Chain A
Amino acid sequence: MKPPPGLKLIDENGRRMDGRRPDELRKITMKAGVLKRADGSCYLEWGNNKVIAGVYGPREVHPRHDQDATQAIVRCRYSMSPFSVDDRKRPGPDRRSQEISKLLGEALSPVVLRQMFPRTAIDVFCEILEAEAGTRCAALTAASVALADAGIPMKGMVASVAAGKIDNTVVLDLRKEEDNFGDTDLPVAIIPKTGEIVLLQMDGHFTDDEFDVAMQYSIDACHQIHGMQKQALREKYLDAAVEKRMSEPAESEVML
């Protein structure tokens, strides 16, 4: 789709609508352990995206015939709330969200040490509360934190981001207008620890060279996001430790 007249995606100084450089991320914040009932959870804000991921399991598999006698299955449900977009979205799974759910489950499976929990399911639920381009990447990033928060043994995290092309410039982390009026969208997820690419989709138009640049931007950004994921997990336990110390008198005080 062509941008409406007057809308400039990149200005003469090479800055984007929100002032970002081509390889700059939007603001991302995440917090681990935000839900009480879920075994693990994460709340993530990414630009205007707001996502909650929750993990249940390992637990019994229903329906039973889905179970794998040798390892756990990782199932993901990506779902957008009706109020997350401009025109109300009809609640429930549509084809888009079913495809994304499948891909997210497949992207998370390789990091989970599934052989440790045969015949079980690890269910990952991603609720998109507000959407502003890049929700599948935001959901995947949050889901990975939630899995770690649930104490699921993993060989690494999964970090995800999209790159794309607007006005013939390769850019990182598209915002809504850039997604709608841009030429290309390339959602990527990697396991930062190993460099494996576990999510890769693309539509639009790339030359081989543009693809290389876009992948480099994405991979670098995934490492950055990985740092934030680890920080979110660390903070949860730091907070818990501080709280514990506040509620219990320190040993020295008891002695007095």
Chain B
Amino acid sequence: MSDDIVSDIKRDYIVNLAKQGQRYDGRAFDEYRPISIETGLISRAEGSARVRIGDTEVVVGVKMAPGEPYPDTPASGVMTTSAELVPIASPDFETGPPRPASIELARVVDRGIRETDTIDLEKLCIKPGEKVWMSFIDIHVVDYDGNLFDAASLGAMAALLSAKVPYARFELGADQPMPINHYPVSTTAIKLGPALVFDPGLMEDKVGRPRLTVAHDEHNAIRAMQKGLIGGFTLEEVKEIIATSKVKAREMREQLVKVTGREADARNTKPGH
């Protein structure tokens, strides 16, 4: 049976719990489920990661190949992000062309990386105007138990941090680590009745609305945001989410650095642009 349909009883139960300051799995409102990050699991990919947040699981692969630059950025590498909600991950995910939900997911992860200058695209130029590195970040959702946005962006970051630019395979010299400028980390909160809960689990994802995803960089600057789903936030709620998000992002970034063993490239860690 499709679990896209939530009974009123279940809906009321989740919302009433939130009104009493509780969640169905006993977490505090700002508490994340256990996060695990593994990198380098796909040997054919230039970079890869498996991220689990609770029972949500995504596998992200980075593939790279030389290609032609865009005419307006002849000396910059190219990056593309796509996300697939694979039918194995939920009875609600269907085969076929990407639906708006997966497009939104991919674009939010993409913006969190692209607009934050996370990848030093200029360093991914091989010969200006002719040959640059094309990086494809592919997000494969394999188990959906809520909060895909955070799992996907954390997975993308981990995969990028573990990626090697495959110069050797294309006979262009020795492999090099992916040039990374920043460490943006996204956190997502959803509104359940009056409560704002972080890292929504499956039922909270289905019942709660709207949703806000915020990305902070290692200097605590806000780098990207996306409000999704029907409904509205007050300005105070938005500010509250941003403040908590900053703290949570810091914790997750520490884990990311520990697992990948990589700090952002030292000379690039100046604040902002």
Contacts and interface: CB of A to CB of B under 8 A. Distances in A.
Interface of A: 95-96, 98-99, 101-103, 106, 109-110, 183, 186, 190-191, 194-208, 211-212, 215, 219
B100 A98 contact: yes
Contacts of A102: 100-101, 103-104, 228
Interface residues of B, number: 34
Contact of A183 (B217, B238, B242, B273): B273
B212 A208 contact: no
A200 B227 contact: yes
Nearest to B272: A205
Contact of B227 (A95, A101, A197, A208): A197
Given A200-B227, A204-B115, 20 more contacts: A95-B103, A98-B100, A102-B104, A103-B104, A110-B230, A194-B232, A196-B234, A199-B227, A200-B225, A201-B226, A201-B227, A202-B224, A202-B226, A203-B115, A203-B225, A205-B273, A206-B221, A207-B221, A208-B242, A215-B235
Contacts of B104: 99, 102-103
B33 interface: no
Nearest to A191: B232
Contacts of B238: 197, 200, 215
Interface in B205-222: 210, 212, 217, 221-222
Contact of B232 (A186, A197, A201, A212): A197
Given A99-B103, A99-B107, A200 B226 contact: yes
B53 to A, nearest CB: 23
A101 B100 contact: yes
B190 to A, nearest CB: 13
Contact of B111 (A109, A203, A205): A203
Quick one: which of B235, B238, B242 has the most chain A CB within 10 A? B235
Contacts of B224: 202-204
B223 interface: yes
A205 B228 CA distance: 20
A202 B184 CA distance: 14
A1 B117 CA distance: 10
25 contacts: A95-B106, A96-B107, A98-B100, A99-B103, A99-B107, A102-B104, A106-B229, A106-B230, A110-B232, A197-B233, A197-B234, A197-B235, A198-B231, A199-B227, A200-B225, A200-B227, A201-B225, A203-B223, A203-B225, A206-B221, A207-B222, A208-B242, A211-B222, A215-B238, A219-B235
Contact of B242 (A186, A196, A198, A211): A211
B255 to A, nearest CB: 24
Given A98-B103, A99-B100, A99-B103, A198 B221 contact: no
A101 B116 CA distance: 24
